[in-house]
Amino acid sequence: MNKTLVYLIYFTVYSAVLVWIGKRSFHRGDTPGQFYLGGRQLGTVRCMMTFAGTWISAATVLGFTGSVFESGYAALVYSVIPWYIGAIFLVCLSRQLYRNDILTIPELFRKRFGSKGLQVLVAVVMIFTYIFYLVIQIRGFGLVASSLFDIPYGISILLIYLFILYATFGGFHTVAQTDAFNLITLFLGTAMVFIMVVFQAGGIGAIHREAAQISGMAYPSMQYATDPGDLLRLFGKGKFAPMMSITMFFGWGLGLAANPQYMVRIIAAKDARTSRRMILLSLALLALLYFAFLQIGLGMRVMFPTLEEVRETDEIFVYVINNLLYGAWSGFFLFAVIGACISTANSQLLIIASSFSYDIVNTLCGDRLGERALLFLSRVSVLVGGTLSLLLSIHPPASLLTYGGDLWGVFGATLFSTVYGGLFYRRATAKGVWAGILAGLAGLAAFYPAYWRGILPFHAAFPATILSCAAFLAVSRLTSPKEGRDAAAR
């Protein structure tokens, strides 16, 4: 059967399922509590599905696997290990965070410190960060869709624009059900690719023996060549050099630990115990996927040491599956990748919507907006946020994995010290939180330009996060009430 026809069949089926999910759950988001958090009634399985579904994005499937193809195990240290350490922080945070009766993460700062200004400031930081991060999902979708249907990238990204708007308009229930469907699809598709690649490459042992001998360029425009043994080393060249990889923890790692899209899933669970189980079970499931992506990336490099037609890291996986290893299952897997992009995008759009309508507009209006006005404004925010991200995606970043870590670094430098310190540090004050966020932003503004020009040997989020923590602790200590200081001393 013609390849394009096969892909059109997959596209029709996938679209029909999304429409069915959206129609089935659209009217369940008829209150802000339902629209933003699903009524805080999610059980363990649904929580795990939406947590893992929003975790796996284009940065993982395309960025990580492509980076394994070009640099091997170094991609694991650069991204996956920091992600897992960040998730352990979330486990420690879950019980304390869940105790707060909040609809959004910015509201936590208002409830904890009595500051509407902090609620608005945190919401602004989140909106800008997620609008730029959505570019990753749109870019990933565009790469896949343009390959599937042989259409220009600019046209293909319009498709995800329609998908994510529809999947977000129904609120958290629609997002959670879409996440579950997309995660199951990705798991099955990845299993198919894993079996096929490992079988054709001669097994996992053979993959590693051959990978140890690989040398040369992964693709013509790659900045450095692979030397024998490089693919099995924990550190590599360029962005995977030891200092850069270690300090990327302050981007990917602490950025994930302070990421509101995961905190939202903690407070959406039916109880604190469920939220902890959600994270631990998700990490176990994700470990299987990362093991598969690691072997797939190495296996593809063994089978195809150099890809002459590829220009960038993020194109590798799609090119190999769509051309060199094409089969009847290819369309299933590639649409699973599309699903991963949609699952992360709709979660972030929903947070953009709640941040703007509930945390900014409603707060500035003195909490006078009614439920219908909030929901209407939330859906308008989805439309505007998606449109802005779409426009930014016309000229996408060169590397999804690096770009994602840079953006997560914004959360690490602004929210890590203030969220964790605000919940666990007795002497935390509103002024301390202001100082922590502003110092983090100032640090990012000071160090990112030099980092992007390749001047710094470490990630810019590293010094910015240190500045944020120091400012938060110092100002909180100076401004905490005397009785609080005495209690802390005792």
Output 320 or 327, whichever has higher pLDDT.
Answer: 320
| SS3 label, residue 269 | strand
| SS3 label, residue 132 | helix
The span from the CA of 417 to the CA of 171, in Å, is 30
At CA 300, angle to CA 212 and CA 328, rounded to 5? Answer: 160
Domain span at 42: 3-398
pLDDT value at position 8? 84
pLDDT tens-digit readout, 353-372 = 999 999 999 999 998 888 88
On the question of pLDDT at 486 being above 60, the answer is no
| Judgement on whether residues 391 and 440 belong to the same structural domain of the protein | no
Instruction: Please report, for the domain that includes residue 264, its CATH number.
Output: 1.20.1730.10
The span from the CA of 157 to the CA of 140, in Å, is 9
pLDDT value at position 26? 66
pLDDT value at position 328? 78
Q: Is residue 417 part of a domain?
A: no
| Judgement on whether residues 250 and 325 belong to the same structural domain of the protein | yes
269, 332, 373: which is closest to 17 by C-alpha?
332
| Judgement on whether residues 435 and 363 belong to the same structural domain of the protein | no
The span from the CA of 362 to the CA of 356, in Å, is 8
Domain's final residue, options 379, 398, 417 = 398
How far are the Cα atoms of 254, 361, 415, 423, 469 from residue 419, in angstroms, in the given order? 11, 22, 6, 6, 11
CA torsion sign for 208, 213, 217, 223 is: positive
How far are the Cα atoms of 8, 233, 334 from residue 2, in angstroms, in the given order? 10, 42, 16
Contact 148, 334 (CB under 8 A): yes
| Judgement on whether residues 330 and 477 belong to the same structural domain of the protein | no
pLDDT value at position 488? 39
Q: Is residue 444 part of a domain?
A: yes
Output 334 or 51, whichever has higher pLDDT.
Answer: 51
pLDDT value at position 482? 63
Q: Is residue 63 part of a domain?
A: yes
Roughly what angle, to the nearest 10 degrees, separates helices 400-414 and 116-149?
170
The span from the CA of 16 to the CA of 19, in Å, is 5
Instruction: For 54-110, give the DSSP string.
Output: HH--HIIIIIIHHHHHHHTTHHIIIIIHHHHHHHHHHHHHHHHHHTS--SSHHHHHH
pLDDT tens-digit readout, 134-165 = 998 888 888 888 888 788 888 888 777 777 77
Q: Is residue 108 part of a domain?
A: yes
Output 41 or 121, whichever has higher pLDDT.
Answer: 121
% of the chain with per-residue pLDDT over 70: 97
On the question of pLDDT at 230 being above 60, the answer is yes
pLDDT tens-digit readout, 384-427 = 988 898 888 888 887 888 899 999 999 999 999 999 999 999 99
Residues in the chain: 490
pLDDT value at position 248? 95
Q: Is residue 202 part of a domain?
A: yes
| Judgement on whether residues 130 and 237 belong to the same structural domain of the protein | yes
User: How many domains does the structure of the chain reveal?
Assistant: 2
pLDDT value at position 159? 75
The span from the CA of 183 to the CA of 119, in Å, is 32
CA neighbours within 13 Å on the CB side: how many for 409? 30
| Judgement on whether residues 141 and 252 belong to the same structural domain of the protein | yes
pLDDT tens-digit readout, 460-481 = 999 999 999 999 999 999 998 8
The span from the CA of 262 to the CA of 54, in Å, is 8
| pLDDT band per the 50, 70, 90 thresholds, residue 487 | very low
Contact 375, 30 (CB under 8 A): yes
b/e burial code for range 373-387 (CB count within 10 A of at least 16 → b): ebbebbbebbeebbe
| pLDDT band per the 50, 70, 90 thresholds, residue 6 | confident
| Judgement on whether residues 390 and 430 belong to the same structural domain of the protein | no
Mean pLDDT over 108-126 rounds to 96
Average pLDDT, the chain: 90
| pLDDT band per the 50, 70, 90 thresholds, residue 335 | confident
Output 213 or 139, whichever has higher pLDDT.
Answer: 213
